[in-house]
Amino acid sequence: MARYPAAMISFDFDDTLIKWGSRHFEDLQGDGPAARLFDRAIAAGVPVAIVTARWPELEAQMARIGAGVHQWLAARGVPEGRVQVVLTSNQPKGPFLAELGARVHYDDNRAQCASAEAYGVHAILVV
Ligand SMILES: [Mg+2]
C-alpha cells in the first residue's frame, strides 16, 4: 500500500493548547481543548507546528512564570525539534502557516482563522 506523507497540523497556543482563566496571565488553567488532539498527533507521527502570535519578549515573560511554549512541550515529553514553533509577533498567521505547509490550523481567534483560510489553510475555531 502506498504511503503518503502526513500533512502538517498547526495549533495556536494561548487558549487553544493551554487555557487561561483570565487575560492577565496570572491564571493558567492547564490544558485547553485541543491538547488531547495535539498529543494524538504527536503519538501518530504527524508533523506538528505551534504558531502563536506571541512575540519574543512575551514568550520570555511567559517562560518566567512557567508558561513558555517550549516548557509546555518539555513537560509533555515532546523531544526538542519535534514540533516547529513559530512566534508571529502579533502578525496574522496565514503567511506563516502557508510557509510551513500547514494543512489545518486550530485557533481560538476568529481573525487568525480567517487569515489561515485566506492562505488556503483550513482553520478550525477552538472554543
Ligand atoms: Mg489563542
pLDDT at position 56 is: 96
**In this model, does residue 24 exceed pLDDT 80?**
no
Q: In the prediction, which pLDDT does 40 show?
A: 96
Residue 8 lies in a domain: no
Measured in Å, residue 3 CA sits from the centre of ligand 1 at 33
Residue 126 Cα, ligand 1 centroid: separation in angstroms? 9
Contact 71, 63 (CB under 8 A): yes
Residue 47 belongs to domain with CATH number: 3.40.50.1000
Please tell me the pTM assigned to this model: 0.93
Question: Band of the pLDDT at 3, cuts 50, 70, 90?
Answer: low
pLDDT at position 60: 95
Within a domain: residue 10? no
Domain containing residue 58:
15-125
Q: Is residue 4 part of a domain?
A: no
Tell whether 80 is covered by a domain.
yes
**Per-residue pLDDT tens over the stretch 64-94:** 988 999 999 999 999 999 999 999 999 999 9
Residue 62: other Cβ atoms inside 10 A: 21
Q: Is residue 5 part of a domain?
A: no
Q: How many domains does the chain have?
A: 1
Domain assignment of residue 91, yes or no: yes
> CA 38, CA 61: separation in Å to the nearest integer?
24
Question: How many whole angstroms from 106 Cα to the centroid of ligand 1?
Answer: 9
